[in-house]
Amino acid sequence: MRLHPLLPALAGLAFVGPLYGLGLVSTSPGVGAPADTLLRLTCASEPRLGAAGRIRITSLESGAVVETIDLADPAPTRLVGLNPTPYRYRPVRVEGRVAVVHPRAGVLAAGGAYRVDWDAGVLADTVGTPLAAGNFTFSIRPERPAASAVAVTVAADGAGDFATVQGAIDWVPAGNTVPRVITIRAGVYEELVYLGSRQPFVTLRGEDRAGTVISYANNQNLNPGNNRAMVAIDANDVTLANLTLRNTTPRGGSQAEALRGNGRRVVLDRVTLSSLQDTLLWNGALFVTDSLIKGDVDFMWGGGACYFQRCELRSLGSGYLAQVRNGESGRGNVYVDCRLTAAPGVGNVYLARIDPRPDVANTWPFSEVVFLGCAIGPHVRPEGWLLNNATAAPQVRFWEYGSTDLAGGSLDLSRRLPDARRIDRETAERYRDPRYVLGWTPPASAPPPPRRERLTGLSTRARAGAEPVIVGFVVAGTAEAGVLMRGVGPTLGAFGVGETLPRPRLMLQREGAVLAAQTGGPVPGPVADAAARLGLFPFRTGAADAALLATLAPGAYTVALADADGAEGNGLVEIYDAAPGEGTRRLANLSSRALVGEGDATLISGLTVAGAVPKPVLVRGIGPALAGFGVESALVRPRLTVFRGTEVLAANAGWTGAENPLEIARAGALVGAFPLVTGSGDTALLLELAPGNYTAQVSGPAGVGGVALLEVYEVP
């Protein structure tokens, strides 16, 4: 789209009449804003919204008015995302000295140029002196994130792909089938958010939990019914991580959820939810870990299954933590290793309440609320639980096991509601399993503090000939690393491998530039010493195996192994951290591409996990997806198997048939791997590997060969 010729001179300038008591200091945006940009008028003193007047946005190219905001409209509405029910909203709000204007979604086109006009009296100072009529111009950047992109960024200052969270969600297509990550930079995003049921596989990840805040005063009075929640998620397979959702509706302002949803396989990881009445409403299946939930009356409620792990549940006033409305066969809310705290001076709090009367409309006699190993503060009443309109509820499941006070000491439960139970250990262990509660196994929760568990050795055995064995690896961290690389051919014969490369040649590259190369022959002393320190097998005396020792800066590298004279045979590429455990740098992943067949032509990679506790590792065997990168004769139906010694730990013949395909896709996005197509024949396994040595193999069907890629990623 051609920009209006006057725009470069006019963009960002305001044209106003006499300013009277309210001076206009600046306007934004200027040139090249995202299409979901907000408009800002910054004044010399704090403005007040007028009772009447219009703000219009006009296309400089067509002359058409694309948006009109009328301050005299008592109930303006807009559509939010894929929700067909309009929301009432506040089109103009004041933040200190800044008036912020919210255009409706879709009115600003990529590459467009616009003029903003406002009537006199739209803003006034504190004594009623109006801002005169005026205008300014701005433009929208011509490019938008591609539909095929899997990661975008939201930044309130306009420096990201989008300026609003909802703008980024609107980029996710209806019928989405691939994992997409929306990173939200620190800032306060004053908006309503809706993620529709046809937009699954989305992660919203904040840059800073306390500093990335979605906020709005939405409630039953403003938007009755399902639209009263500030953030609504009706999609499955969604993750919210490392951010804060804060509904700013004041006390007494009616029901005001910070978050509501119907989705299944939804994860909240290190999230803060804050409101008063009804903070969290969920009717699907929800896993919450390492999070903070604040409220007072029924601030966790709904009819879905919810599993809370290591969370803080903070009461902001007298009331009830939960009101759970599950049916007889359904699961309710389960709290595991949580802490129940309160704001200063708050008491008279119940763990949960319910109307349990049978055969009465809108009652729930099988309500299930379970606390396991939770530390409970003195703000909770001794009886703990409350029945509404009933004195007995023999079928209600108000259960506790291992409750303590906040210091970990014993807690007196002798005065608990008679129908509440202290369950036995066997029942408690059953409820500690998220799969039992939710019907699915959530991904690993918040990452632990930095630890020394790491990949210290990576190796690949494959057949080289016209197609060399190509191995990629990454040095991660902030410091240089000593890396030992070996290309083994003749010595493999001592281990029973036939048809080995007679004279291997090893070549190290970065971004296409050759950094070092070595053809089999005598091994220099420092290289041999490094291999001995690492406990590697020595080369056979006189064998023409190759080795390199290099100090490498953080980054991605490739090593190619072929025969120096063009012969064909089996070879082994080994890559080792020459000083494992020192500093923060480490080997982060390995990828190997080679021709795969049967027997000795199987593609085999080995890896070593060092440390004291298990390490998450993503292993992928790629065949069909290689065709999309121009690779001819890609292996059609790869099979991936991971061994420890001779024991098969896991195998896969199609990644979407794995037990945890969503977690595999999320891990791939997290480590930057290219996405796999749903239903493809490519393979993948996401494993927690204890320290030790492992091998991963990619093979093909009997009698079928082709090029395959084997990848091993360290998952943070």
Could you tell me if 372 and 480 lie in one domain?
no
Give the range of the structural domain holding residue 34, as residue numbers without chain letter: 7-139
CA–CA dist 570, 310 (Å, integer): 50
Residue 145 covered by a domain: no
Q: What is the DSSP string of 532-563?
A: HHTTPPPPPTT---EEEEEEE-SEEEEEEEEE
Contact of 202 with 235, CB cutoff 8 Å: yes
568/664 same-domain check = yes
**What's the CA gap between 600 and 199, in Å, rounded?**
45
pLDDT of 13: 38
> Domain boundary at 406, 438, 470, which?
438
Q: Using alpha carbons only, how large is the chain's radius of gyration in Å? A: 31
675 found inside a domain: yes
User: Would you say the pTM of this structure is higher than 0.75?
Assistant: no
Residues 117 and 157 in one domain: no
Provide the token pair at 544.
């023409």
Q: What is the pLDDT of residue 228?
A: 97
Domain end: 139, 170, 192, which one?
139
Span 662-676, mean pLDDT?
83
d(CA 639, CA 78): 50
What gap in Å lies between CA 86 and CA 78, rounded to an integer?
Answer: 5
3-class secondary structure, 208: coil
- The structure tokens listed for 657 are 């048939």
Count of structural domains, the chain: 3
Is the same domain home to 583 and 668?
yes
Residues 462 and 390 occupy one common structural domain:
no
CB atoms within 10 A of CB 669: 19
Are the CB atoms for 12 and 30 separated by under 8 Å? yes
pLDDT for 615-643, tens place per residue? Answer: 788 999 898 988 888 888 888 888 999 98
Q: Which H/E stretch holds residue 171?
A: helix 165-171
Indicate the helix (H) or strand (E) that contains 168.
Answer: helix 165-171
335 vs 560, more confident = 335
CATH of the domain at 223: 2.160.20.10
Mean pLDDT value across residues 20-29: 76
CATH number reported for the structural domain that contains residue 40 in this entry: 2.60.40.1220
- Based on the domain organization, do 133 and 156 belong to the same domain? no
More confident: 244 or 8: 244
Cα 168-190-670 angle, rounded to 5 deg = 35
Quote the distance between the C-alpha of residue 265 and its chain's center. 13
Q: Is there a domain that residue 444 lies in?
A: no
Mark whether 109 and 210 lie in a shared domain.
no
Q: Considering only CA atoms, which of 300, 246, 292, 285 is closest in space to residue 271? A: 292
Mean pLDDT calculated for residue range 645-661: 86
Question: Which is more confidently placed, 172 or 582?
Answer: 172
449 is a domain residue: no
Same domain? 563 vs 422: no
pLDDT band of 477, cuts 50, 70, 90: low
Query: Is residue 131 situated within a structural domain?
Result: yes
Of 15, 9, 36, nearest in space to 101 by CA: 36
- DSSP category for residue 681: S
Contacts of 522 (CB under 8 A, 6+ apart): none
Decide if 508 is inside a domain.
Answer: yes
Both 306 and 208 in a single domain? yes
Question: Do 53 and 122 contact (CB within 8 A), yes or no?
Answer: yes
pLDDT averaged over the chain? 87
Least confident of 45-54, 59-68, 526-535: 526-535
> What six digits make up the tokens of 664?
């595999």
Same domain for 133 and 161 = no
Residue with tokens 């509440």: 420
Is there a contact between 375 and 408 (Cβ–Cβ < 8 Å)? Answer: yes
The 10 Å Cβ neighbour count of residue 629 is 10
Do 553 and 472 reside in the same domain of the chain?
yes
Residues 560 and 493 in one domain: yes
Q: Which residue has the higher pLDDT, 125 or 584?
A: 125
- Listed residues 113, 139, 165: the one ending a domain: 139
Structure tokens at 342: 């309160």
Helix (H, G, I), strand (E, B) or coil at 666: helix
Summarize the confidence of residues 231-247 as an average pLDDT. Answer: 97
Task: Supply φ then ψ for residue 481, to 5 degrees.
Answer: -130, 140
